[in-house]
Amino acid sequence: MVQITTRRTDFPKPLDMYKALDIYGKNLISTEGPEWRMHRKLAAPSFGEKNNQLVFTESIHHAKSLLGLWTGADGRGNKTVADPSHGAMNLALYIISSAGFDVRVVWPHEEGIPVADRKTEGRSMFVGSETPSGHQMNYREAIGELLHNIMWTIIIPPKYLLKSPIKFHRKVGKAVVEWGLYMDELYELKKKQVASGNAADGMDLFEALIRGSGILDEKTTELQKSDLLGNAFVLMLAGHETTANTLHFSLIYLAMNWSSQRRLQEDIENCMQGKPIQDWTYEEDFPKLFAGMTAAVMNETLRLLQPIVNIPKSTAPGRPQQITLGREQHTIPGGTHVWLSSAIHRNPKYWPGPADSPSNEGIQDVDCFRPERWLTSSNNGDDFVDINYDEEELRGPSGEDTSSQLFKPEKGAYIPFSDGFRSCIGRRFAQVEVMAVMATIFTQYSVELAVDDFASDDEVERMPKGGKQRRDLYQKACDRADYYLKEKMASIVTLQLRGVSIPIRLVRKGEERFLFDQ
């Protein structure tokens, strides 16, 4: 694994697999060599600490909106969310829209908020269900339709989608055109804002792309408008499903593992010390989350269910490469696709159990959700290191997949963000987003599996709290969830549940129906 990721020129990306991502222009994902260097240099400033602050703030804002959707107007919760993946997808989409383009998407259930109140928040644009003049889709519909159905743009070129006899295909094709128009408008708006000095305080990705391109000050540059739009699109795409999946499955795993959920809530309480959510800051609070149970939960979810199951590499035609396995050398022929498999995340050779686990659990432990395996004796976040993209140039992000206060897997044994020179440039963006959302949810609520298919609310209420009846009932929901996570997962673009869902409920802390001593 390490040999392949560190030998960048020997094992390039198979670019033929990524041509379909050039919908709006060449980009960081679909290029190699000098062209990739140019795109990397363009995109890197977008992911500095100023943007991370914006991600943290926007993640909290939209997490509150998601809670409003899932728990009702009174915030009491105990409502069944039939398919939490939908809410997680929209959450990730709206966060990347805010932090990526300075566009605050208004959730459908919040559209009654007066527009005047929104304008005071300093956003470039607010969008909801209205369709602006010159468009056939509203912004929310266009980007949602495009990203949720991106596979169709890979199978069928967008220009042919528009001509398809199938209505659904034509709708996806229209979304491609519509979001291109929205990006054009945002590009012109941002260009004017940056040139006039009226850009927002928090630097979104699009603003950073424009500033770094040299287009505004008319420097000699090879970059074109299509390069900015191409990178803006793939950054939106890459940060959508992957993050949504991590949030979705973290909630499911925590609902199935009460002891881990309680430990998470206690750790968040210790980190925040009763501070109101509106007073949380990236600079003060994220390092503590990154060094504790919140990060451990995220890391463990990514270990078990990495969104991208296999990371593609290749050998160039006519350039066979040698690798060493143990004491033997093997030759990989030129023109061969090589896949880095996330199966290494379940190799017991690299993964210890939690410190308090029996030593005889062996192989079974690697298939279990045990976020405690990441915790070490000291985790105070004092040594948090910012990712410095200005100094890193082309070496790969200098920040870490995990805090130095947590367990550090052997190099190459943990690849949720790939590894080496082509590792995910948006890694810290995703980490900030997931942990800010998790902290917002679990500082107020607990998550339970919904048991509606096995018993009504009235039947549950008649069962003694903490008793065998409730325990047996909840075990049925856990068994079903476990079966789905093992047998109903499939990967198209990312690894997701296919054809089924695992319903959940959020309940106020202290009002749990299925809290058992473990």
List binding-site positions for heme.
424
Classified as helix, coil or strand, 126 is strand
Closest CA to 371 of 244, 262, 473, 284: 262
Closest CA to 25 of 155, 189, 213: 213
The whole-angstrom separation of Cα 430 and Cα 449 is 25
Sign of CA dihedral 86, 203, 271, 357: positive
Question: What tokens appear for 216 in the block?
Answer: 């505004």
Neighbours of 122 (CB within 10 A): 11
- CA max distance for the chain: 75
Q: Report which DSSP code applies to 416.
A: B
Closest CA to 204 of 53, 341, 318, 65: 53
The whole-angstrom separation of Cα 269 and Cα 280 is 12
Closest CA to 409 of 296, 322, 248, 271: 296
Integer CA distances (angstroms), 261 to 13, 61, 239, in order:
39, 23, 26
Residue 310 phi, psi dihedral angles, 5° rounding: -130, 135
Closest CA to 6 of 310, 244, 340, 386: 340
Q: For residues 156 and 165, is the Cβ–Cβ distance under 8 A?
A: no
Residue 94: which H helix or E strand, with range?
Answer: helix 84-101
The whole-angstrom separation of Cα 217 and Cα 204 is 19
Question: What tokens appear for 131 in the block?
Answer: 């369709």
The whole-angstrom separation of Cα 478 and Cα 257 is 9
Radius of gyration of the chain (CA): 23
Binding-site members are: 424
Closest CA to 404 of 381, 429, 386, 431: 381
Token look-up 């049925």 returns 476
**Residue 489, beta-bridge partner list:** 497
Sign of CA dihedral 49, 195, 21, 13: negative
Q: Report which DSSP code applies to 354.
A: P
Residue 407 phi, psi dihedral angles, 5° rounding: -55, 135
Question: What tokens appear for 352 in the block?
Answer: 């210890």
The whole-angstrom separation of Cα 40 and Cα 76 is 46
